[in-house]
Structure 1
Amino acid sequence: MLAAFLLLFSSAITVQAEPVETVREGDVLLEADRIYREFEDGPLIAEGDVRAASGAQFLRADRVVYDIAADTVTAQGNVAVRSEDGQLFFGEDVVLSSDLRNGIVAAFAAELPPNGTLGAATAIRRESGTNELRKATYTLCRVCDEGLRRDRPTWQLKARRVIQDENKKKLTFRDAFLEIYGVPAMYVPYVQVPDPSVDRASGFLAPQIGSSSVRGTEVEVPYYWAISDYQDFTFSPRHFELLGTQWKGEYRRNTWNSSAIVQAGIIKPTNDLSAEGGNPDNVRWHWFSKYRRELPAQWTLEADVDAVSDQGYLLIYDLEPDGELQEEIGILRPDRLESNLTFDRRTENSFTDVSAWLFQTLRVREDQAFTAQALPRIRHERYFDGLGGNFTLGGSFLTLLRDDGLDSMRGSGHLRYERVKLTRGGHRFETFGELRGDLYTYRDADLGTQACNVDDRAYDACRMMFPRGGNEESFSVSRFLPTVGAEWSYPLARIGENASFIIEPRVQAVVSPDESFADDVFNEDSQFFQFDTVTLFDYNKATGLDLWEGGQRVNAGVSTTATFGQGVTVNTLVGGQFRAKSSDAFNDNTGIGEVQSDIVGAVDVNLGSNFAIDNRFRIDDDTGSFRRVESLVRGRLGRLSGRLNYLRIESDDFETDQVLDEFLVVSAALKVTKNINLAYSQAQNLDSGSTTNTQLALRLANRCAGMTILYRFDDSTVPGFQQDRELLFRVQVLGFN
């Protein structure tokens, strides 16, 4: 400890030009260029690069007077003291007790690791660890010598009085001003912050302020409560000028074998709800949660509960899950929310899943009574090797229940086989087969599903599309579904000095019973099927089990890769399906099911690391027109970066001959300076010619503070909801967030 102290404040004493005098008096060891007394039994005076030590306490100064009778050590000039716990502080005139633990410091300055500084005109140090500072300053920011922050930190607190509690690791400020770049910005009569060495501490977080044409002025003031080392709670009341006060918060818990997070809120609206869509309740609420626990024998329990009081709640209050739950739920908004309780077990050769799923529709036109609930869903698979390939043996059971409409039960079993062989010449052959059997039982089949029970849907016309024409109330269906197939691919490569090319043709032949079962089975788990390059070589292209792709067919395509210098690459894939005869398993607008399908393709171009184009498309096999186009262009030029997303869908509908949807999203970001960023995005409905969303953000930030100003415009097309223009202001300050 002493060696480290001497190394920190001076060169090693062994290289001193003059001999160093050393004296031990009581509990204090003094080293200096000169040590003397002015009279016998008087104070001991040390001058010239003085070092004093008492136990684990150290001191260095230009001059030190040790008064044994008064039991004080007085240090003057460039005083530096390291306390027993390692804290370092400085001063010009210091009077301490002989053990260096109590005293008064003039022109006090202290380092609070890892990045804090604390200064004061005077400081009173106490052995108890509670220190009092007068005319004090505190910051977590470095002082820079250039730019707007020259000679001052980004922010600092100046207070008439500060209490530093070294034991509880906190600083309490009285009559304080928050200065931004040296300019007083806010007066606070009382504020308490944790010591910089504390990772988590209870206290208020920076507020968030905004203004919305729908909600009025809004203010959110979070309070963070560090309950223990493994759990915390953030209480974030949010007051709306036009809607009332929303009481919400977040609880988190993380242990060695479990984790939990809950985000919930409730509000009793003060506005008139009669004109609002979505059937709003008088008391509105939300609950988003996720729980996971490791169980014995490689079992895992997961419980996700996501629910809101009514369909328009998230839209009106501009609410979405934060942090860990954002990805879990955000991709579903605004269509539906999912809740589930799941037990699963995964081993090297098996998978088991037992779960229950509940769904809540957020579409204003849909009736929750016709939304299916999966109670329960059971799946199991085992994997083993044999006959030179891999076998999968498994089965599933699913029950779908509705308050109104169709109820169903499905049991399914399957045995799959796959084998891959590579020849010396580079040919790749894959053979596969599947034996599958399904058993369905339906009740209230004539009442149908959600699809036919919306406000603007002609129910009688829709019901005619039900299995068995919608004329049977209850019935059962069994089916046996064998499939065999083979696939061949052969990559051809040419490697050059300046360019390389790879061309790979791929052909897959599949044989299944030539029956779709569309007249006997409700398609509930494969309604959002999309024929594209992703599903081109799936021998059964359905996303679930209900939709069955039968018949004899060939899936064929060619992929190419071209690589040039300086990171330039071009990747393409084009293909389609050819059938022995057409199938009615697929909807007409999917582009598949006829003898020759639509042509699907992808073209990706990368011009180095700063520019790229990704394209996905589907071309009508009869007319040659594009029925679906998805394009993404992204690039960077110096400090400017941008993205362009384009989507065009042309489809058939049973009510109208053709529907054309066309959307464009443009976004850009500009790095104005090292600490200033601008961002812009706009979503355009090209079909209607209207702007659906616009956002403009200004971000000022450095290592210890940040400020965001966000403008957003939402043009809601949902009946009962109006346009919303919002201005949001958010501040983040290191040490207060």
Structure 2
Amino acid sequence: MRPAALARLLLTALALAALATLPARAQDDATEPALLVADRVFVEDRERLVATGNVEALHDGARLTATRIVYDQQAGRLDIEGPLRLTDAQGNILTAEAAELDEGFRNGLLRGARMVLDEQLQLAAVEARRAEGRYTQLSRVAVTSCQVCGPGEVPLWQIRASRVVHDQEAQQLYFDNAQLRVLDIPVFWLPRLRLPDPTLDRAPGFLIPSVRSSTLLGFGIKTPYFVPLGDHQDVTLTPYISPVTKTLEARYRRAFAYGDLVVDSALTRDTLLPGEARGYLFAEGRFGLRDGYTLDFDLEYVSDEAYLNDYDYADKERLDSNVTVTRVRRDSLIQSAITRYQSLRASEQDETLPSLVAHSRYERRFFPQRLGGELRVGAQVHAHYRTSDLDIDGPDEDSIVDGRDVARLGLEASWRDRWTLPLGLRAGASLHLWADRYAIRQDAASESDVSQLTPGAALELRWPFARRGAGGGRSLLEPVLQYGWVGGDRSRVAADESTRVEFDEANLLSLSRFPAGDRRERGESLAAGLRWLHEGAGGWTAGLTLGRVWHDRDDPAFSRSSGLYGETSDWLLAGGFTHPLGLSISARGLLDGAGDFDKAEGRAAWSNARMDLGASYVLLVQDAAEERDETQSEWGFDGSYRVNRHWTSSAEWRYDLADQRLDRAGLGLQYRTECIQVDFTVLRKFASSTNLEPSTDFGLTVALTGFGTSESDKEYRRTCN
């Protein structure tokens, strides 16, 4: 055979060898020619081609380096002298002292082999054998994803095994006589062990276990098991065992062509409620339907009031299960929803709450050319049902079980337009007409059937001033004034939907600030406001809104803390600030005539590469109309700080200023490297109206990263000096 032909054959052999010895995802169709570079290339006995000195073979993104390569055509064998290093396009690395591969490169022997899969998992073996072009069998193996810098360094953890078989098609690693070592100290042994290699995204098997210690549930362990059901759905089963509880948690996920579904649930037998089955079920999903409709649902159920708190599954005072169908287009909106409520508060009974609520809404807008402006028409259908069958203010003696059922049909038409006047003034006008029909049952204090027609009109005047600074900053100052009128008198309709009124910058210029049609503001009103916005040259922004409303009459439907009580409202103050460095501040409050806040809330956050901090404040004054017997005031804090590359701390804290006590406090600490992640948390929850029993929870999670479902992070990889 000619040397040139033999060289071409050797190049083909090297290409096949490169593809045969690396994971399956590197085995793409060969499209690029192979390239061989060496100090010397010669032929012996017309059958053996020898390449020596800095041998390097390149093919389709794979690179092979060696000291000497001998290809024996008659024997069909390829001998490679190392140090041998083979790297594919995905970064997988195979090194060996020497290699012998047969013809076809489906079988062979590599001595002193070392594999690095996906730049994460390292497998060092005395020797490795290739079999059937699919399996790599390694003998006397040490496996780790920890960075090892020197020959005498001991990794933080490693798995020693007498044999490891890598199935590159199934992307699995099979261990015989597996021994887990921490700092080279044996801590665990298994005769057989199967783990996914880092190139596998979805593999059945155990996930990261976690340990939890609670004053309510004792010391327990969670061992989740992941079961993929094809490419688009999976189930995670998590047994939770402690001296107090036997719980099975389950999570089901499925992705459809036009939507997704997630179901979280748990079933429990414990000593907290002996002989009773406890559990919860949360399901949520979103699906795209025909003609632009979307279906959203969020279903929530729990067996008893304390279950979610005892097991820390959710921090909720009420459960709301709803199904909603919506279609939003440029000039129309259609929405229908059904909601079921379940209260977890000890002070509330589901029989007297509107446990089932149905609501449908339609809105459409037109732009008539002759009339000008914008014309809107809409309709609403609402109904809510209480399970109690006793009348309010009826013959029963115990009013706590009273029930009232209401159905409402509302129609609305409005027209609005705006004009620009001299000196930059902006004027606007709007006309409104509401028609409502009510059917009320089981309420002796209200009329059973009520109809009302309500007209309204508004005139608005704005005068915006804009300014651009020399450095590129921009400012806007805009005073606004609105006169409003709503006619008619209020009918004897129960206020079930408008029990809470929020006065903020979004409804400062609304004709009615009640959230629903069972209450509307009546008579004349005047609203004035001032808005200021600024965008700095450095990218920071700031804003401030100031406003107040005057009525010609006192409306008793407004509660004291609503900010609209009396003929003159509280001062509305709202502002915000954001900075590119990660700082953001927002605040809102209602300031009464005496200089006291009736409601206030604020949030400040600072986020950068090392920290993520947030603080919040909430104030709600005492208001019997909103079923608040005492003032509620609370500080909250949450944040995390990255101490260095591997250590991150976190904390949360909530303090009740009104009761002068802690509501909850928690600390967390995480240690993370390229091969391990340890999370430790402690959380103390104190007794409150929604937390029936105080508890302290300790959590510990240890993850050995580097396998298919728990990849290591290069950001945390240690460096060798």
On the 8 A contact 2:559/2:626 being kept in 1, the answer is no
In 1, the alpha carbon distance for the partners of 2:646 and 2:454 equals 62
**TM-score scaled by length of structure 2:** 0.83
On the 8 A contact 1:629/1:648 being kept in 2, the answer is yes
In 2, the alpha carbon distance for the partners of 1:380 and 1:208 equals 49
2:379 counterpart (395, 401, 416): 395
In 2, the alpha carbon distance for the partners of 1:115 and 1:586 equals 63
Q: Deviations over 1:198-232 (max 9, x none)?
A: 22221110001110111111211111111111111
Q: Which structure 2 residues correspond to residues 482-561 of structure 1 after superposition, within 5 A?
A: 482-497=455-470, 501-513=475-487, 515-517=489-491, 520-561=492-533
3-state SS in 1 of match to 2:159: strand
User: Equivalent residue for 1:646?
Assistant: 617
Q: Which structure 2 residues correspond to residues 233-312 of structure 1 after superposition, within 5 A?
A: 233-242=235-244, 244-272=245-273, 282-312=276-306
Q: Deviations over 1:520-562 (max 9, x none)?
A: 1122222222223333222221222222122110111112345
Q: Deviations over 1:618-665 (max 9, x none)?
A: 1222x2322223233445799566433222322332699983222112
Asked if 1:425 is matched to 2:423, the reply is: yes
Unaligned runs of 5+ in 1: 1-19, 274-280, 321-332, 447-469
Q: Give how far 1:418 is off.
A: 2.3
User: Equivalent residue for 2:25?
Assistant: none
On the 8 A contact 2:363/2:377 being kept in 1, the answer is yes
On the 8 A contact 1:334/1:363 being kept in 2, the answer is no
User: What is the letter of the counterpart of residue 578 of structure 1?
Assistant: W
Asked if 1:166 is matched to 2:160, the reply is: no
Q: Which structure 2 residues correspond to residues 33-182 of structure 1 after superposition, within 5 A?
A: 33-37=40-44, 46-49=51-54, 61-67=66-72, 70-80=75-85, 89-113=94-118, 115-140=120-145, 156-178=158-180
Q: Give how far 1:252 is off.
A: 0.9
On the 8 A contact 1:28/1:53 being kept in 2, the answer is no
Q: Give how far 1:440 is off.
A: 0.7
Change in CA separation of 1:489 and 1:189 when aligned onto 2, cut-off 3 Å = farther
Q: Give how far 1:133 is off.
A: 0.6
User: Equivalent residue for 2:453?
Assistant: 480
On the 8 A contact 1:56/1:84 being kept in 2, the answer is yes
Q: Deviations over 1:701-733 (max 9, x none)?
A: 245542211111000223882210111112342
User: What is the letter of the counterpart of residue 305 of structure 2?
Assistant: Q
User: Equivalent residue for 2:574?
Assistant: 602
3-state SS in 2 of match to 1:24: helix
3-state SS in 2 of match to 1:190: strand
User: Equivalent residue for 1:462?
Assistant: none
In 1, the alpha carbon distance for the partners of 2:71 and 2:679 equals 55
Which 10-residue stretch deviates more, 72-81 or 59-68?
Answer: 59-68
In 2, the alpha carbon distance for the partners of 1:669 and 1:720 equals 25
2:220 counterpart (218, 229, 239): 218
Change in CA separation of 1:435 and 1:703 when aligned onto 2, cut-off 3 Å = farther
In 2, the alpha carbon distance for the partners of 1:599 and 1:725 equals 42
Q: Deviations over 1:304-353 (max 9, x none)?
A: 32111122211111113xxxxxxxxxxxx422112223333333332222
User: Equivalent residue for 1:715?
Assistant: 686
In 1, the alpha carbon distance for the partners of 2:129 and 2:179 equals 22
On the 8 A contact 1:650/1:658 being kept in 2, the answer is no
In 2, the alpha carbon distance for the partners of 1:84 and 1:479 equals 74
In 2, the alpha carbon distance for the partners of 1:584 and 1:368 equals 28
2:310 counterpart (280, 292, 316): 316
In 1, the alpha carbon distance for the partners of 2:87 and 2:599 equals 71
User: What is the letter of the counterpart of residue 458 of structure 2?
Assistant: G
On the 8 A contact 2:317/2:690 being kept in 1, the answer is no
User: What is the letter of the counterpart of residue 382 of structure 1?
Assistant: R
Which 10-residue stretch deviates more, 204-213 or 109-118?
Answer: 109-118
In 1, the alpha carbon distance for the partners of 2:660 and 2:62 equals 75
User: What is the letter of the counterpart of residue 701 of structure 2?
Assistant: R
Higher relative contact order, structure no. (Cα contacts within 8 Å, ≥ 6 residues apart): 2
Change in CA separation of 1:702 and 1:435 when aligned onto 2, cut-off 3 Å = farther
Asked if 1:337 is matched to 2:319, the reply is: yes
In 2, the alpha carbon distance for the partners of 1:440 and 1:619 equals 36
User: Equivalent residue for 2:399?
Assistant: none
User: What is the letter of the counterpart of residue 585 of structure 1?
Assistant: A
2:354 counterpart (358, 361, 372): 372
Which 10-residue stretch deviates more, 340-349 or 434-443?
Answer: 340-349
On the 8 A contact 1:548/1:585 being kept in 2, the answer is no
In 1, the alpha carbon distance for the partners of 2:109 and 2:278 equals 58
Q: Which structure 2 residues correspond to residues 716-735 of structure 1 after superposition, within 5 A?
A: 716-718=687-689, 721-732=692-703, 733-735=705-707
3-state SS in 1 of match to 2:264: strand
In 2, the alpha carbon distance for the partners of 1:97 and 1:655 equals 84
User: Equivalent residue for 1:451?
Assistant: none
User: Equivalent residue for 1:361?
Assistant: 343
Change in CA separation of 1:144 and 1:415 when aligned onto 2, cut-off 3 Å = farther
In 2, the alpha carbon distance for the partners of 1:634 and 1:223 equals 37
Change in CA separation of 1:409 and 1:528 when aligned onto 2, cut-off 3 Å = same
On the 8 A contact 2:544/2:574 being kept in 1, the answer is yes
- Taking only the aligned residue pairs, the percentage that are identical comes to 24
3-state SS in 2 of match to 1:543: coil
Query: Root-mean-square deviation (CA), in Å?
Result: 3.5
In 1, the alpha carbon distance for the partners of 2:209 and 2:628 equals 53
Q: Which structure 2 residues correspond to residues 693-708 of structure 1 after superposition, within 5 A?
A: 693-702=664-673, 705-708=676-679
Unaligned runs of 5+ in 2: 14-35, 389-402, 711-721
On the 8 A contact 2:198/2:706 being kept in 1, the answer is no
Instruction: Kindly tell me the number of residue pairs found equivalent between the two proteins.
Output: 665
User: Equivalent residue for 2:31?
Assistant: none
User: What is the letter of the counterpart of residue 684 of structure 2?
Assistant: F
Q: Deviations over 1:465-520 (max 9, x none)?
A: xxxxx3x6x61111112111122211224444478654221111110025344xx1
In 2, the alpha carbon distance for the partners of 1:657 and 1:673 equals 46
Q: Deviations over 1:354-404 (max 9, x none)?
A: 332211112122212223244643222222112222222121212222210
Which 10-residue stretch deviates more, 199-208 or 632-641?
Answer: 632-641
User: What is the letter of the counterpart of residue 127 of structure 1?
Assistant: E
User: Equivalent residue for 1:674?
Assistant: 645
3-state SS in 2 of match to 1:316: helix
3-state SS in 2 of match to 1:268: strand
Change in CA separation of 1:589 and 1:707 when aligned onto 2, cut-off 3 Å = same
Change in CA separation of 1:212 and 1:88 when aligned onto 2, cut-off 3 Å = closer
Q: Give how far 1:674 is off.
A: 2.0
Change in CA separation of 1:606 and 1:255 when aligned onto 2, cut-off 3 Å = closer
